[in-house]
Every structure is written in C-alpha cells, then in structure tokens.
Amino acid sequence: MSKFYVSDRWSDTAGHFIRRYDCGYGYYSKPAIQLDSPATDYKRAYESTRTYPCHFYGFLVAHQVKISGDIIVIEGYFGAYHGYDNTRANFGFAIVPSNYIDNDTTPPSKIIVIWTMSRFGWGNGSYGHYAYVKLKINPDNTVSILEASPGNPSVGYANPYDLIGQEVSVLFGYSDSWTADWNQWACARKDSYIDLPTAVAYTQEVSDAFKGLDILSRTAKVTKIYSDTYKGGDWVGLGRYLKLTDYGKPLDYTSKTPLKAVSELAIPCDRLTKGFIISLFERVFGEHWGVGYRGKILRDSFKGLDVLRKMASMVRTFADSGKMLDYTSKGLAVRKIELLISSDKLSKTPSHVEHDYTAVIDYTSKTPSLMEEDAVRSADVLRVAPIKALHDIGKLTEYTAKSSVKCLSDFAKALEILSKTPLLAWSDLIKGVDAFTSFASFLRTLYDAGKTSEYTVKNPSKRLADTGKTMDILKKSTSLLRSDYIKSIDYMCKLPSLKELDTIKGIDTHTIAPTKILYELSIPCDRLSKSLGKSLLDRVFGEWVYETLRGKVFRDTVKAVEVFSKTTVLHREYFDAFIGSDRMLKEFVKPVSDLFRTSDRLYKSILKVFEAESSIVGVPFKEMAREARDTVKALEVLFTKDIVWDFIEKVVAKERPRKEVLAYFFDTLSTEYVMAKGLPRVVREAVKGVDIASKELATSFSDLFKVKDLGAFRVFIKEAFERIFSEHDYVRSSVKVYRDYSRFTDPIAKIAFTLTQLWTRRVYSRPEKFADIIEASDHNVRVDACKKLLDKIKKLKEKLESM
C-alpha cells in the first residue's frame, strides 16, 4: 500500500475534473485550487466560476498510479461549503483511470466517495472534520465499505474491479450537481491521504528518484521498491494476479504439518512408554499376591502384546510421516519453482517500470551479497523456513526414534522382568508385604512344606518314604501281632469255647488282614497327600482356587473317613477274635459296637471288606457275612444284657474322650451330607473335627488302646491313627488356610485397632477385589495419635519427675 498525501502534491494548484455520468451538461470550467484556505494547511477546490453538474471537480492527490490490490483507505480532515446549504455541501475522492482526468467522457470504471456535510451534522462551510473509510473492491465489480468513521459515506462506482492493474488518478474535491454558480468548495488538510494498493510508483517518480544517486544508493532504492512491492503488493505479474502471500501460507502449513504430525506422534509414543512403565510399575509394586500372580503375569503379557501392537501402529504412523516429509520436500521444490517462475514473469512484465527493474535487478545480482539478501528477503524467508522446519523435523524424528528405541528397550526390560517374575514371585511372596504378616500361617505352611517349589518334589517323596516306613512297621507289627496272636491262641486254647476255637481258624485271616488294610490305607493316604500336593500346586501356579481347594479338602477328608471305617473293621475283626473274652468285651466291645452304631455306612463297609477278604483267605463270602451278621446280633444281645451296663460303667472314666471320638466321627461323616448343603458348615465342622482330632482324639485313641492284651495291636493302631492324623493335620493346615483367609478378610473389611484410643486402620496390599488404599482419615488419625502420644510423654515425664 502506498499513501498519497495531500501534501505530496501541495504545490500542484491545477484544477481538474472528471465526468461522473452523462446528463446533457458538458464541461464548463475547472475549479480554482487554493492553498492554506479556508485555513492554514488546507487545500481547497473552489467553484470560483460556474462548474456544471454531472462532474467532479478538484485537485490531484495521486496521478498515474497503478493499483495492484483491492483495498483502498481514505483518512483525513476535511470541510465543504455550498451556497445553497449544507445539504448540498460535500467533499470526496474520485478514482478513475488516469486518461479520464480532464476528459469530458464518463470513465468506464470509477469509484467516487462522497461525504455530504448535512448527513454527518457538519455545518455548512465548516472544516476540520475527521473522516475515515476503508473500501474493498470486489471481484463482482462492487465496492464494499469495510470500515468507516464517523459513518458510511456515499460510494458510487462503475466497474471498479477493472481499476485494478490500471494506472489511475485520484481527485479530491466536490461533486457538482447544480448548474448555478453556488461558490461551492471542498477542502482537505495537508496530512489527509488516500492509501492505494500500488504495485509501483510511477516510472517518472522512479526515474526522478534515481537522479543524482550513485549506483549503490540507486540500487538500494530500487531494492527497497522491489521489496516494498513484495511486501505491499498482494499481486504480482504471474498471469494477472498471483498472490505471493498465498505461497507463504501453504508453504508454512506444509512445512509445519510434518512437525505437527511428528509432535502428535511423540505424544502417544510418550504415553505408550509411560503407560507400559506404569503397568510394569503397578505389577511390581501394586501386586504382591502370590496366588493371583500367574493371572497377573498373563494379564500383563496381554498388555505387552497390546503395547507391541500399538508400537507397530506407531511405527507405521512414523513411516507415513516420512512419506509426508518426502511429499513436503517435493511440495517445497514445486513451490520454489513456481516462485522462480513468478519472479521471472515479474521481471518480464511488459512494463517500462519492470524493464527498468529488470536492468537494475540484473545489476543487483552482481552487487554485494548484502544487497541480494535485502532484495530477496521475503523469498529467502520462504526458503529458510522450510529448511528450519525440516531441521526441526529432524530433531523430532531423532527424538521419536529414540523414544521408539526407549519403548523397545523398556519392553525388552519388561520381557526380562516377565521371564524373571516366576522366580521372583516366590521371593516376593515370602518376603511379602505387610499383609502377609497376618497371614503368617499360610506362609509358614508353604515355606515349611518344602520351601515352595521344592515342596512339590519333596512332598510326594516324603509321602512315599512315610508309606515305606509304615509298611516296614506294618511288617514288624504283623510279626508282633502274629506273636501276640499265638500267645492269645495259647491262652484261648485253654478256654473250652467252641467259638474261640472257630476263631482260631481265622487267625491266619486276621494276621493277613492288617497288612491288607494298612496297605489299602496307604493308597488313599498317598492319594490324599498327592491330592493335597496338587491342591497346593494349583494354588501356587494356578488361579484363585480356594473354591476348588475347599471342595478338595473335604473330599479328601471323606476319603480319610472311609479309611477310618476300614480301620474300624479291623477292630471288629479283633473283637471277633476275642469275642469270648470277658476282659476284651469289657475293654473293647463297647467302643467298637458304638462305632458300628454310628452309621450304616460303616456296616456296609464291613461287609465290603469281608467280601474282599473272602477272596484272599478263601473263606466263602456267605460264611463271612453270616459271621458279621452274627457278630452284630451278638453285640445286640450283649447290649441287652446287664453285663453290658457293667461294662459301660467301667468305661465311664473314658466317657468323655470316647464321646469326643464319636462326635468326631459323626461330625466328619456328616460332612458328606453337608457338602451338598454348602461349604461354610463343612468348613466349620471340619475345623471343629480337626481341632478335636489334633488335641484330643489321638490321646483318646491312644488311651483307648493302652491295654496290655493288645500289645502289638496297639502299635498297629497307633501307627494307623498317627498316619491318619498326620493326614488330618495336613488337611487341617489347608483348612487353617481357609480359616485364616476368612479372618484375613475381616481386616480388609475394617478390622482395626486403636491407637491412643483412636480407631486406627492398618492397610493391606491384596488382590484387586480387596483393593485398599491409605485414606485421608488414616493419615489424620496418625496426626492425632502423634499429638496424644506427645501429651502422654509429657504427663509421664511430669509424673516421674515428681517422684
């Protein structure tokens, strides 16, 4: 844009006119141009002699100026007078092709802006009124007022768009619409101006400007003009209108887009890294739960896979960015070529001015580089910006690449950690977090059982060894039994009892039976141990298996009970063997018979064992079954007799343990039925039973069989029961796990303790379903507790000092 001030042509006092439109009146006279009138620094166009209507009269503000843009600004201080009144007084600017100045032909294209004094409330003949207007020439050959102050002036135009690219002249003056001589005038202050979007100043001005200048100064001036042309001219001669600034925008945009893309890429990349680290962090620090660890590892593995997938996506995005960079560099090259073309075209514009420019520019290219730099500043900016952008992209690319490497590195670390985790898991499990301190029994169980992983190997071995020991003992016991039997037989032979003699026949059977029973006993026991081992294995390496474990524990308990029933059969057989002995009857029959009564199941088991034994000893099953039935009948008979009561009285001293034993059997057997009704009760009863077993049952049975006559039998029974109890101990430990677990859930729910009489909460790390955090109240309680502790210390100090 170039401002053309009134002062620029101050000394030019030639009056001019243009024809506004055709109305039948011709040009009559030109106005008089007066300086410092009506006041100092004002220049006035005055109708000293009659001027006719349909014309615009005034003085030149700009002449032969080539308009290269579509924005025109007028600003200044003005005044006007009309002999009639202020409704006719007006001032304004007329922009027309230069060749229509003082040409009484209506110009084909024009813009005339008129301010009427009355319209703005200005008095007739007054001056110094500020007026401002910003116009826009639209491609549809209209003119818009973009801004105006104090208000919109009247704007008349004809083909205004055609003015762009033409040499135009601007007149300031008044519009005359009246034929009479009204002494009309319009004035403008010296600093008033019209701002035109000029491509260059007029050739003459340039030529004048060059006069008297040395070549360097001249070059500098040309350079400035050239630069101003770039800066001020939205339009250059590429075709007709080529916006150089438009180059800037796409170039800038194009160069920034990859930056933005890479930047945006960096953010998710960073998030990915952080997300992955967070997940690892959570895994390492947030979880110390051995049982759920496996699932956690799997879950984290999936997270890792997800990260990998996202990484792949990121790499692909990065590749796309690379393509974009390539495209951008090509785009820049294209733009550069276009720019050069436009420059070339600019230089070839068939204009005298450009011709001169070309000559000067040619010279400029040979002058010191400083001049060149100034001359091509704007273009250089365009060139440099993309390079900088590419440089920045390079930096970001490097950053992104490093981030990717870091991601991969972190991932590799994570994989390493994952591979180590199973090993670490146990370590962490044992070391544990504080939560496990309340779960010490569980830890101890696991730890003592063979230091976790070794346990699974050692325990079956131990069981086998135990079984072997038992078998060994069994052998010895059998031998002893045989010996005792012989003694007993010797004793019994002296008794004239047919039944006893019959019993003697069965001695072989009875000596073999314990072996078989114990052997059979060892199988479920071994199975039990294996099952428990497997349970622990499941527990350690599997998912959360408490439900399974509980079921399994009680299933195995029932197995143990079955073993018990078999053992009971053993008792019965010995009862049969010594059925004729009053002493035996008194000491032993009652407990055994009570055992029989406890459950039909026991009776059936007896029959079953008889059946099994019949195949061993070759005794017909029917006969054995009959014997069993007879035995039961005999027992019933015995119980109906007074002698039994005598026996009962004799065992009163053992009533309590016996009852507990029976209760144990009863409760344990009941579990079979309860299992169908729900585990909680099973657990409760099993715990009860196990407690009894561990505390009193063993003693009861031990005492029960501390009878001289059963010497070897006692050893056998002791072994058998110890074995069973050892299994029960095992069961108990598992049950204890459950029980402790149940207790453990209480602290989670909010079991706490007081601290200085304030409810205080300990916080536990545990599986997600029991997630717990340190709450604000936890912290506040600590603060209060500290204050109370300080008070306590002070009071105690005073008390001690006063002593």
Partner 1 sequence: MSLEEEIKAMEDAISKMVYVKDGDYVYSDHPNSILEFLKHCLNASKLLYEMFKEKTGKELSKVEVHLGIAEDKLSKARTVSFGDVVLSIDHNYLVDSAKAIEFALLLMEQELE
Of 221 and 761, which CB lies nearer to partner 1 in the complex structure?
761
Q: How far is CA 605 from CA 497, 514, 628, in A?
A: 29, 15, 11
With contact defined as beta carbons under 8 Å apart, do 25 and 54 qualify? yes
546 lies in the binding site for partner 1 (CB under 8 A): no
305 lies in the binding site for partner 1 (CB under 8 A): no
The pair of three-digit structure tokens given for residue 799, joined into one six-digit string: 């008390």
Q: Which of the 8 DSSP states describes residue 580? A: T
Q: How far is the CB of 790 from partner 1 (least distance, A)?
A: 5
Q: How far is the CB of 264 from partner 1 (least distance, A)?
A: 27
491 lies in the binding site for partner 1 (CB under 8 A): no
Q: Which stretch binds partner 1 (CB under 8 A): 498-506, 513-521, 696-704, 767-775?
A: 767-775
List the one residue from 541, 760, 767, 770 that touches partner 1 (CB under 8 A). 760
Of 120 and 281, which CB lies nearer to partner 1 in the complex structure?
281
Number of residues that bind partner 1 (CB under 8 A): 38
605 lies in the binding site for partner 1 (CB under 8 A): no
> Distance from CA of residue 335 to its chain's centroid?
42
**CA-closest candidate to residue 109, choices 139, 140, 141:** 141
Rounded Cα distance, 614 and 516, in Å? 12
Q: Which stretch binds partner 1 (CB under 8 A): 477-485, 592-600, 716-724, 789-797?
A: 789-797
Rounded Cα distance, 16 and 139, in Å? 29
Among residue numbers 688 through 727, which ones bind partner 1 (CB under 8 A)?
Answer: none
Rounded Cα distance, 208 and 356, in Å? 13
List the one residue from 355, 739, 756, 770 that touches partner 1 (CB under 8 A). 756
Q: How far is the CB of 440 from partner 1 (least distance, A)?
A: 14
Residue 672 amino acid letter:
E
Fill in the per-residue mask, 257 to 296: x = in contact with partner 1 (CB under 8 A), - = not in contact.
------------------------x---x-----------
With contact defined as beta carbons under 8 Å apart, do 728 and 560 qualify? yes
Of 134 and 782, which CB lies nearer to partner 1 in the complex structure?
782
Of 374 and 410, which CB lies nearer to partner 1 in the complex structure?
410
**CA-closest candidate to residue 505, choices 606, 407, 576:** 576
790 lies in the binding site for partner 1 (CB under 8 A): yes
With contact defined as beta carbons under 8 Å apart, do 43 and 171 qualify? no
Among residue numbers 657 through 676, which ones bind partner 1 (CB under 8 A)?
Answer: none
Give 15's contacts (C-beta < 8 A, 6+ positions apart).
Answer: 30, 31, 32, 33, 45, 57, 58, 59
- Residues 1-20: b if buried by 16+ CB within 10 A, e if exposed: bbebbbbebeeeeebbbbbb
Of 438 and 453, which CB lies nearer to partner 1 in the complex structure?
438
Among residue numbers 418 through 447, which ones bind partner 1 (CB under 8 A)?
Answer: 433-435
Q: How far is the CB of 779 from partner 1 (least distance, A)?
A: 5
348 lies in the binding site for partner 1 (CB under 8 A): no
Q: Which long-range contacts (CB under 8 A, 24 or more apart) does 546-554 make?
A: 546/738, 546/741, 549/734, 549/737, 549/738, 550/679, 550/682, 550/683, 550/738, 551/675, 551/679, 553/686, 553/731, 553/734, 553/735, 553/738, 554/671, 554/675, 554/679, 554/682, 554/686
Rounded Cα distance, 662 and 611, in Å? 26
List the one residue from 41, 763, 767, 770 that touches partner 1 (CB under 8 A). 763
686 bridge partner residues: none
Residue 2 amino acid letter:
S
Q: How far is CA 368 from CA 72, 227, 382, 383, 528, in A?
A: 37, 17, 21, 20, 101
Of 341 and 790, which CB lies nearer to partner 1 in the complex structure?
790
73 bridge partner residues: 134, 195
Rounded Cα distance, 359 and 356, in Å? 5
Q: Which stretch binds partner 1 (CB under 8 A): 94-102, 394-402, 463-471, 794-802?
A: 794-802
Q: Which stretch binds partner 1 (CB under 8 A): 126-134, 251-259, 470-478, 756-764?
A: 756-764
Q: Which stretch binds partner 1 (CB under 8 A): 503-511, 606-614, 669-677, 750-758?
A: 750-758
Q: How far is CA 139 from CA 142, 337, 598, in A?
A: 7, 28, 112
The pair of three-digit structure tokens given for residue 287, joined into one six-digit string: 């979880």
Of 85 and 434, which CB lies nearer to partner 1 in the complex structure?
434
Among residue numbers 769 through 788, which ones bind partner 1 (CB under 8 A)?
Answer: 772, 774-776, 778-780, 782-783, 785-787
Q: In 83-165, where does DSSP find H-type helix?
A: none
Residue 379 amino acid letter:
A
Q: Which stretch binds partner 1 (CB under 8 A): 106-114, 460-468, 717-725, 760-768?
A: 760-768
**CA-closest candidate to residue 115, choices 151, 70, 62, 73:** 151
Q: Which stretch binds partner 1 (CB under 8 A): 8-16, 502-510, 601-609, 763-771?
A: 763-771
End-to-end CA distance of the chain: 101
Of 338 and 434, which CB lies nearer to partner 1 in the complex structure?
434
Of 287 and 576, which CB lies nearer to partner 1 in the complex structure?
287
Of 424 and 433, which CB lies nearer to partner 1 in the complex structure?
433
755 lies in the binding site for partner 1 (CB under 8 A): yes
243 lies in the binding site for partner 1 (CB under 8 A): no
Q: How far is the CB of 414 from partner 1 (least distance, A)?
A: 18
Q: How far is the CB of 799 from partner 1 (least distance, A)?
A: 6
- Residues 221-257: b if buried by 16+ CB within 10 A, e if exposed: ebbebbebbbebbbbbbbeeebebeebeeebeebbbb
Rounded Cα distance, 721 and 669, in Å? 17
Q: How far is the CB of 786 from partner 1 (least distance, A)?
A: 5
Residue 288 CB-density burial (10 A; 0-12 exposed, 13-18 middle, 19+ buried):
buried
List the one residue from 120, 130, 645, 753 that touches partner 1 (CB under 8 A). 753
Rounded Cα distance, 439 and 437, in Å? 5
Of 285 and 302, which CB lies nearer to partner 1 in the complex structure?
285
Q: How far is the CB of 306 from partner 1 (least distance, A)?
A: 23
Q: How far is the CB of 462 from partner 1 (least distance, A)?
A: 35
77 bridge partner residues: 130
Of 316 and 792, which CB lies nearer to partner 1 in the complex structure?
792
Q: Which stretch binds partner 1 (CB under 8 A): 32-40, 421-429, 656-664, 764-772?
A: 764-772
768 lies in the binding site for partner 1 (CB under 8 A): no
Of 408 and 774, which CB lies nearer to partner 1 in the complex structure?
774
List the one residue from 498, 652, 676, 800 that touches partner 1 (CB under 8 A). 800
Rounded Cα distance, 776 and 303, in Å? 32
**Residue with structure tokens 């370590």?**
427
Q: How far is the CB of 763 from partner 1 (least distance, A)?
A: 4
29 lies in the binding site for partner 1 (CB under 8 A): no
Q: How far is the CB of 660 from partner 1 (least distance, A)?
A: 37
Of 608 and 795, which CB lies nearer to partner 1 in the complex structure?
795
Q: How far is the CB of 299 from partner 1 (least distance, A)?
A: 20
Q: How far is the CB of 292 from partner 1 (least distance, A)?
A: 16
Of 597 and 762, which CB lies nearer to partner 1 in the complex structure?
762
Q: How far is the CB of 287 from partner 1 (least distance, A)?
A: 12
Q: Which residues are near partner 1 by CB under 8 A?
A: 281, 285, 433-435, 753, 755-756, 760-765, 772, 774-776, 778-780, 782-783, 785-787, 789-790, 792-797, 799-801, 803
